[in-house]
Structure 1
Amino acid sequence: MASKRILSLDIFRGLTVILMILVNNPGSWSHIYPPLQHANWHGCTPTDLVFPFFLFIVGVSISFSMYNAKKEESKRPQLLKKAVWRGLKLIGIGLFISLFPFFDFSSLRIPGVLQRIGLVFIFATTIFLYSDIKNIIGILVLILISYWGMMTLIPIPGIGTPDLDDPNKVLSAYIDFKLMGNYLWSGSKTWDPEGLLTTLPAIATTLLGIIAGVLVKTLDKSIIVKRLIIIGACLTIAGAIWGVVFPINKSLWTSTYVLYTGGWAYITLGLCYYIFDVKNFNPKITLVPHAFGLNPMIAYVVAELGAKLMYIIPINGTSLKEYIYQIMMNIGWSNELGSFVFAISYVVILYIFVLILYRKKIVVKV
């Protein structure tokens, strides 16, 4: 049985955080290599795997941290209380990042990455604590089918039949705008990729992670890899087939997106488990994702705050970010390569930060 902390999960988490920081911080948003961009609307690029991978890992971590404790029913209320408090802290940090550095509440974006993680963590933990594995699978299926029905069958007031090809003609956009008005993503102001209704299927992504965690926690080590990869392949194929009629879409977090990205998450975890926990392959280079994987939240928060500061700190009549980027571009790189090198450089700077925490054995928990 797998009972100890698994290296593969830390490596998987670290790689996901690295990619998240990388795609969020190009030198120029006008010059990005296609794989490092989100799909324009329908579809899925490698960048579109980042957020669901992180939620999947959250689910795996829930299984690992609470699997034994949940067996004692008397402990469940206390575990849930801690989970709710942790989720609320994540939401609070997300709102802080949104307001930083000017704290202008008129421009506040209520939804966000950490806000979604916080909500999903609370609901997914509740489901895990009070449901067995069969019920968790049933809830997962119910969410996917119900969400498909809501997004495709419910008429939208003032619009009528939903149109999944138009971000303003879907139920999720209508609900987000009605509840949060202008406090949405600045790129649209009428809908939000981390909105309220689309958080429902994001819970399903985390439940997939919980199920994977239970498998790793309870199955014999010899069959874990095979089981994860087979399940992952089935999920990916199912998502692609269903995607013909219910498009794979990150901003809508469609049920097909849950299956497709969840499948790739299973496959990735299976491969990582085989490499790092079965074959015990652990070269020095794995220190990079391992350091990020042990302190993912603080790495993400510092990255977001640092990026905002670079935009507002003035230097020679421009922002600090633009000033550094132009110096780098004077070397003679192509626009895309220069933008990519800037992002890599930012990851390296953050690696120094998390490496210091790693060396001092400091793990910052929310």
Structure 2
Amino acid sequence: MLGNATQPVGQRLASLDILRGFDLFLLVFLQPVLVSLGACVDSSVMNAVLYQFDHEVWEGFRFWDLVMPLFLFMTGVSMPFSFSKYERVESRWLIYKKVLRRFVILFLFGMVVQGNLLGLDFKYIRLYSNTLQAIAAGYLIAALIQLNFSLKGQMGMTFLLLLAYWFPMTFWGDFTPEGNFAEKVDRFVLGRFRDGVYWN
């Protein structure tokens, strides 16, 4: 099932473009400008605003914590419209090729932006440490589910993925930054390539 998008082929969804532009505006322009202003203006109001434009360290939630999930949301929303162009294509390899190419490009861009890929110092390359790489992984998984399952199957797979995330996070670790299950998986799978830190 490639999706049930009703948007005409070739026509962009204006609301999605506006939301994407708003998210990029926050990321590229507004937050850096506010941080620069905050360095010059010492006021309780500015400090309160700047507090919302930084990530929460561990427990809690701030406005800035919406930016990355919003990109993931937009990626998912756009997929049915993108895949609907291929509904009449006999060979599914074309769409799988597109999905794989987009995954690889986003993943490599993530390594370029924050993964020290261009430094060519392979000892300190970060394999998976960037928002772009999270989007790439989420896009690949969601695309495979959407392309190969019916609506009920997609709902079932979503439930199973949530369960597969919830169970080990709840029972196979604690809720501290150092002891949660995701942290343990990162250290085991990525090893010395985790977050640019060399692990002996």
Q: Of 79, 85, 104, which aligns to 1:88?
A: 104
2:195 is matched with 185
Whole-angstrom CA distance in 1 between matches of 2:134 and 2:82: 20
2:26 is matched with 19
Unaligned stretches of 5+ in structure 1?
155-161, 191-366
2:61 is matched with 44
Q: Is 1:126 aligned to residue 161 of structure 2?
A: no
Residues 24 and 33 from structure 1, CA distance in 2 versus in 1: closer, same or farther, beyond 3 angstroms? closer
Q: Is 1:153 aligned to residue 160 of structure 2?
A: no
- Match of 1:14, as an amino acid? G
Whole-angstrom CA distance in 1 between matches of 2:31 and 2:150: 37
Whole-angstrom CA distance in 2 between matches of 1:75 and 1:130: 14
Whole-angstrom CA distance in 2 between matches of 1:177 and 1:110: 12
RMSD: 2.7
TM-score normalised according to structure 2 size: 0.78
Shift in Å at residue 146 of structure 1? 2.1
- Match of 2:135, as an amino acid? I
Residues 185 and 167 from structure 1, CA distance in 2 versus in 1: closer, same or farther, beyond 3 angstroms? same
Which secondary structure state, in structure 2, belongs to the residue aligned with residue 169 of structure 1? coil
1:34 is matched with 51
TM-score normalised according to structure 1 size: 0.44
Residues 73 and 149 from structure 1, CA distance in 2 versus in 1: closer, same or farther, beyond 3 angstroms? farther
CA contact (8 A) 2:79 2:143 kept: yes
Deviations 1:271-326 (A, max 9, x none): xxxxxxxxxxxxxxxxxxxxxxxxxxxxxxxxxxxxxxxxxxxxxxxxxxxxxxxx
2:90 is matched with 74
Residues 92 and 135 from structure 1, CA distance in 2 versus in 1: closer, same or farther, beyond 3 angstroms? same
Q: Of 122, 126, 146, which aligns to 1:105?
A: 122
Q: Is 1:62 aligned to residue 74 of structure 2?
A: no
Identity, % of aligned positions: 28
Unaligned stretches of 5+ in structure 2?
1-5, 40-46
CA contact (8 A) 1:23 1:36 kept: no
- Match of 2:104, as an amino acid? L
1:8 is matched with 15
Shift in Å at residue 91 of structure 1? 1.1
Shift in Å at residue 143 of structure 1? 1.2
Whole-angstrom CA distance in 1 between matches of 2:168 and 2:31: 31
- Match of 1:127, as an amino acid? I
